[in-house]
Structure formats: C-alpha cells, structure tokens
Amino acid sequence: MHDVRDMRQDEIWNADTARDYDTPGTGMFAPEVLGPTVDRLAALADGGAALEFAVGTGRVALPLAEAGVPVTGIELSEPMIAQLREKADESRIPVVVGDMATATAPGEFSLVYLVYNTISNLLTQAEQVACFRNAARHLAPGGRFVIELWVPELRKLPPGQQATVWSSEPGYIGLDTYDPLRQIVVSHHFRFDDSRQASLFRSPHRYIWPTELDLMGQLAGFELESRHADWTGGEFTAECRSHVSVYRLAPTE
C-alpha cells in the first residue's frame, strides 16, 4: 500500500468515508459545537451571501442556510456531495465540484469560510496560498475569510519521538505522526469495540503556524481582523489547541 501522504484527496474522502462522516447530535455535529459556529458565521456574513470551501456533507452549510444566510459550496469529493444531496437539493445549497484552491463559484460573497482544519488538506504551501487568493477572488470589498484551524503540537514531541496521542477515550484513539521537514502530519483515527478488531482512517495534512497563516493572508490582500480560541470568542493564548481567525479585505474607499 502506498504512503498515505501520497494519496489524492478524492481517494481519502471516498464513498466509505462519506457514509460514516455524519454523526448527528454528537461530536462535531453536537448542538454545542454547531450553535456557536453558525451564530458567529451568520454575524460575520453581515446580511450577505456565504461561500464554504470544502462544504462536505453540509454540517455547517445547512444550519447556516436555515439561519437565513444564502450558502454556496465548493467540494472536491463527489461522495460527500451525494451525502449532502440526501439532505438538500441544488437550489438550497448550490455546490461547485472542484478544488478549493482553484475552483470558482458564480456570484459575489461577503463571507468565505473554511472550518474544522480543512485548509490543511492542501499539502503544499503554494496550494494553501492559492486558497487564500481564491477566497479573495470571490469576496466583495470588505469581505471576510474565516478559517478554523488547529495549532501544531510540536511542543509535545520529545527528542526522537514522532507521534502524539491527542485523544484517548472508550472505543477511540487519535494520534498524529509528524514530519517536521515537510511540515506534514498524518492523523490516525483508530475505532474499536470489545472484539479484537479495529478500524483505521488516516489523512495527511500540512500544518500551518498562525503567523504563517497571517502571511498567507497578506499575500492575498487580507488583514487579520481577529483571532480567538473558539467560535464563542474566547481569548487566544499560547496554550490554545486551535483558533478561529478572521481575515478581511480592504473595503472600497
């Protein structure tokens, strides 16, 4: 089997992954997770339309549309789109099939957003910069680009160790292996029950330091407007494991 770091994204986000992706009411679909996310995005849209890069199965797009924000999506994985289509048709959530670094959606938006670490699915710095520039192309003057992203946990790696366990709970273990030279992390998700069998899902990511993310924004014409620890506006500190960063294009004078 070839290295997961060399797998295409459509190989990773395939029909099996799409089928198991939704966990209604729990995990990242829990009301306490989705509620603050949707509330903040609706406020940032400021009465305009929103574009979600990597819309997936509509976890955020659907409740955001229900909150009155017109939402369009861009998504590379056709199986994920098919899962979304079981919940909403094209008239409700239009979706363009393509890569979030290059694909274009019709119209002009006041908000583009990327949630749940998805920008890290782009495995090179050049692609990530292109993603910022693609967001800028879709935004009206003064529009915002919002990214939810984890903070690399290299401080937890002692010399000679290449992996961190970031979650251990009944039936699940999550660990990341790091390649600091390439700035690549591979996430391993082990799920198991009382039997001797376990399932494994792996996905490669290019991790981005917050300061590097800010520079990507500058290259695309954005300024950092705010950075918080979460969607509720908690203070971002050196101990935070993730952040919600809001970038803004200059308004028309």
Confidence of residue 1 (pLDDT cuts 50, 70, 90): very low
Q: How confident is the prediction for the chain on average, in pLDDT? A: 90
pLDDT in tens, 118-151: 999 999 999 999 999 999 999 999 999 999 999 9
Domain positions in the chain are 4-151+208-249, 154-203
pLDDT for res 153: 86
Percent of the chain having pLDDT more than 90? Answer: 74
Whats the size of the chain, residue-wise? 253
Q: Do residues 157 and 123 make contact, with C-beta atoms less than 8 angstroms apart? A: no
Q: What is the mean pLDDT of residues 177-200?
A: 92
Q: Do residues 122 and 149 make contact, with C-beta atoms less than 8 angstroms apart? A: no
pLDDT at 22 over 80: no
The residue with greater pLDDT, 211 or 153, is 211
Which superfamily does 4-151+208-249 belong to?
Vaccinia Virus protein VP39 (3.40.50.150)
Q: What is the DSSP letter of 79?
A: H
pLDDT at 21 over 70: no
Query: What helix, strand, coil percent values describe the chain, rounded to 5?
Result: 30, 30, 40
Matching residue, tokens 């993730």: 242
Where do runs of H (alpha helix) occur along the chain? 9-12, 15-21, 31-45, 61-66, 78-85, 125-138, 210-219
Q: Which residues 6+ apart lie within 8 Å of 131 measured at CB?
A: 53, 100, 101, 114, 119, 122
pLDDT for res 172: 93
pLDDT at 248 over 80: yes
Q: Please, what is the Cα angle at 227 between 148 and 99, to 5 degrees?
A: 30
Q: What is the pTM of this model?
A: 0.90
pLDDT in tens, 96-107: 999 999 999 999
Number of H helices, E strands in the chain: 7, 11
Where do runs of H (alpha helix) occur along 102-170? 125-138
Q: What is the mean pLDDT of residues 203-208?
A: 94
**Can you tell me the distance from the alpha carbon of 83 to that of 240, in angstroms, rounded to the nearest whole number?**
33
Radius of gyration of the chain (CA): 18
Q: Do residues 210 and 147 make contact, with C-beta atoms less than 8 angstroms apart? A: no
pLDDT at 67 over 90: yes
pLDDT at 8 over 80: no
3-state secondary structure of 77: coil
pLDDT at 25 over 70: no
